[in-house]
Homo-oligomer: A and B are copies of this chain.
Amino acid sequence: MDSYQPTERSKVKRGNKRAAYDHQTVHAIFDALPLCHVGYVVDGQPFVTPTLQWRRGTRLYWHGSSASRMIRTVSGGMSVCVTVSALDGYVMARSPFHHSINYRSAMAFGTAELIDDADAKDEALKHMFEHLFPGRWDDVRGNTEKELKATSVISMNIDEASAKIRTGPPVDDDEDYDDVKCWAGVLPVEQIPGAPIDDGRLLDGVGFPDYLKMFLPK
């Protein structure tokens, strides 16, 4: 099984029973959670910027306006940490100490690089669409030269990465199961699609497309 090699930087220090480094686990979490948090440093000051990421193989991509702080900083090649996480539930134990959360998270380290070439940018954005909304690219109009100029795409090889997952019920101290009379269990948190809202300016004959049906409420 392909795996990222943990180092001092990426090895999960705490709760390492919950850690994984294999490509399959790490990539599945990045793919399931498009909203990422990009950490980078400017003059010793950390910044954490939320943005959408997408993945191809062992590379992550994200984009932004050419005016953003992150994009202006990255141009020289920038050490970044990209983290995604989801809260899947509150874990309610019999003591404060054993309260926890169920979650999935993944953290990737690498050097971010700007994609400068207009064609390469266009291709990367097409991949974003294929990744997030397969079928959408062919339905919309293509990028103009001016739009590509105003968009910055960043790419990063995942040099190291780790995943961390917690699932299941609380784990209480033995004596608390008998002694503490309170409700204990998991309060799940779910992320689900809401009903689509069209923008009221659809042309005649335009309906909701089949290729977006995974975004419909179940």
Cα distance A150–B95 when bound, in Å?
14
A206 interface residue (CB < 8 Å to B): yes
Question: Which of A17-25, A54-62, A139-147 lies at the interface?
Answer: A139-147
A155 interface residue (CB < 8 Å to B): no
Q: Chain B residues with Cβ under 8 A from A115's Cβ?
A: none
B188 near A97: Cβ-Cβ < 8 Å: no
A181-B206 CB under 8 A given contacts A80-B46, A188-B193, A193-B190? yes
Chain A contact patch, size range: 35 or more
B201 near A177: Cβ-Cβ < 8 Å: yes
CB nearest to A216 among chain B residues: B187
CB nearest to A205 among chain B residues: B181
A201-B184 CB under 8 A given contacts A90-B215, A96-B143, A143-B97? yes
B184 near A103: Cβ-Cβ < 8 Å: no
A–B complex contacts, Cβ < 8 Å, 29 sampled: A9-B45, A13-B69, A15-B65, A37-B39, A37-B85, A39-B48, A39-B81, A40-B46, A41-B46, A45-B79, A46-B80, A47-B107, A48-B83, A49-B83, A92-B136, A93-B140, A95-B143, A96-B129, A139-B183, A170-B199, A181-B203, A181-B206, A183-B202, A186-B199, A187-B215, A188-B194, A189-B192, A189-B193, A190-B194
Sample of 14 more A-B contacts, CB < 8 Å, known A13-B68, A97-B143: A13-B67, A35-B87, A35-B103, A39-B47, A47-B81, A48-B48, A95-B141, A95-B147, A96-B129, A96-B147, A139-B182, A178-B203, A183-B212, A185-B199
- 10 nearest CB pairs, A to B: A188-B194, A39-B48, A50-B85, A185-B198, A39-B46, A169-B199, A48-B83, A37-B37, A97-B147, A39-B39
